[in-house]
């Protein structure tokens, strides 16, 4: 673990709402006068065992109810960035889905204002380079996603990218082709959850019909060797989340996790936490799980860290600086 702990890395797949620790959820509930449906943090934690994405999402949305005021979004983001920085994360590209909170009439300015202030303060405090990717929810309509894009306009220059999350089955990327085209026209970087529970064809749709630059998860590409070869040839990064895939029963066993075969095939795979308290680990726990179950050594772990920067939407000069830091870590640790 010590090689992993100080390994410089980027995290490219983490949902801010999914970083809410149970203690913090209860603290924010008390602060906002909200009664949670669980007696205690232990009672809540006892529910962190899921049969799939659609079993997990209602609990995740229930937890979101404690996020009300600007300072709640600030505290949430600040806590995640503090934790990430302590795990060697130098760059964090974080997902956030405003539609959950717009349903409760919480102004976008309060949501995004709190998050962006925390990103700025963390940059000063620890040097971590945080960035925001706003996700639309695919169980809703494309018209709702386009409305969200409109609501983001005042914040355009503070938002790095646009993604798509929530219930995948039955909600293919093709449903959001016009949404992604509109986001591209506005200059956003584009990424899409695909191939977590959905078939490989959803990954192809995200690339071919939505023009996304990166695939979040991409797990089911393992069923389609031609697609794996294409991902490698085209340099499409996959933001994989091993502990999430285990907890959501996407994969039965990490000893056969396809990240090893993707690496061998030349795919730019990365390791991420998704929703860390819910799935039993932050980013370093995910690296450690792969080290343990796949027998990855320092060279492979460093390759994954390099991929995390290469797959990021950071400027080339920042990527080069980070790659030099990974090389230095490898040199001093060996
Ligand atoms: N998949 C899709 N949407 C999500 C996830 C996930 O793993 N986590 C939070 N929103
Ligand atoms: Zn996710």
Residue of the CA atom closest to atom 10 of ligand 1: 166
Quick one: how far is CA 190 from the chain centroid?
Answer: 13
Per-residue pLDDT of the chain (334 residues; tens, 9 = 90+): 699 999 999 999 999 999 999 999 999 999 999 999 999 999 999 999 999 999 999 999 999 999 999 999 999 999 999 999 999 999 999 999 999 999 999 999 999 999 999 999 999 999 999 999 999 999 999 999 999 999 999 999 999 999 999 999 999 999 999 999 999 999 999 999 999 999 999 999 999 999 999 999 999 999 999 999 999 999 999 999 999 999 999 999 999 999 999 999 999 999 999 999 999 999 999 999 999 999 999 999 999 999 999 999 999 999 999 999 999 999 998 7
Using the structure block, give the residue that is written with the tokens 């870590």.
Answer: 329
247 CA to centre of ligand 2 in angstroms: 13
Counting ligands in written order, the one closest to the CA of 99 is: 1
Q: Is 272 in the pocket of ligand 1 (CB under 6 A)?
A: no
332 CA to centre of ligand 2 in angstroms: 33
What b-and-e string marks burial along 53-82, b requiring 16 or more CB atoms within 10 Å of the CB?
Answer: bbebbebbeebbbbbbebebbbbbbbbbbe
Architecture of the domain spanning 2-333:
Alpha-Beta Barrel (3.20)
DSSP class of 274: B
Q: Strand (E) positions, 8-128?
A: 9-15, 89-96
The one catalytic residue in 87, 196, 205, 330 is 196
261 is catalytic: no
Q: Is 53 in the pocket of ligand 1 (CB under 6 A)?
A: yes
Mutation test residue for ligand 1: of 274, 277, 278, 286, the one with most atoms within 8 Å of CB: 274
Residue of the CA atom closest to atom 7 of ligand 1: 274
What pTM did the predictor assign?
0.98
């Amino acid at each position: 673990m010590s090689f992993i702990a100080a390994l410089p890395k980027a995290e490219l797949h983490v949902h801010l709402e999914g970083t809410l620790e149970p203690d913090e959820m209860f603290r924010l509930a008390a602060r906002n006068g909200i009664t949670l449906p669980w007696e205690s943090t232990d009672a809540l934690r006892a529910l962190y065992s899921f049969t799939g994405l659609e079993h997990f999402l209602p609990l995740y949305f229930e937890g979101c109810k404690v996020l009300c005021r600007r300072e709640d979004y600030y505290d949430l983001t600040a806590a995640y960035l503090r934790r990430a920085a302590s795990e060697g994360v130098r760059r964090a590209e974080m997902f956030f889905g405003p539609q959950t909170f717009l349903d409760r009439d919480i102004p976008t300015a309060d949501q995004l204002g709190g998050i962006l202030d925390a990103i700025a303060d963390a940059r000063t405090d620890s040097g971590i380079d945080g960035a925001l990717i706003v996700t639309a929810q695919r169980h809703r309509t494309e018209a709702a996603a386009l409305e969200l894009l409109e609501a983001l306009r005042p914040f355009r220059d503070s938002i790095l990218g646009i993604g798509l999350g929530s219930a995948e089955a039955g909600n293919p990327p093709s449903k959001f082709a016009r949404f992604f085209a509109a986001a591209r026209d506005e200059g956003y970087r584009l990424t899409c959850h695909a191939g977590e529970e959905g078939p490989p064809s959803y990954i192809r749709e995200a690339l071919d019909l939505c023009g996304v630059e990166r695939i979040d998860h991409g797990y089911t590409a393992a069923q389609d060797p031609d697609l794996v070869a294409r991902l490698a040839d085209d340099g499409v990064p996959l933001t994989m989340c091993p502990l999430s895939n285990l907890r959501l029963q996407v994969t039965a066993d990490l000893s056969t996790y396809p990240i090893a075969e993707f690496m061998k095939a030349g795919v730019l795979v990365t390791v991420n936490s998704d929703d860390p308290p819910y799935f039993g680990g932050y980013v370093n726990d995910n690296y450690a799980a792969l080290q343990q179950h796949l027998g990855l050594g320092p060279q492979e772990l460093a390759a994954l860290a390099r991929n995390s920067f290469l797959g990021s939407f950071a400027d080339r000069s920042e990527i080069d600086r980070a790659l030099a830091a990974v090389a230095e870590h490898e040199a001093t640790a060996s």
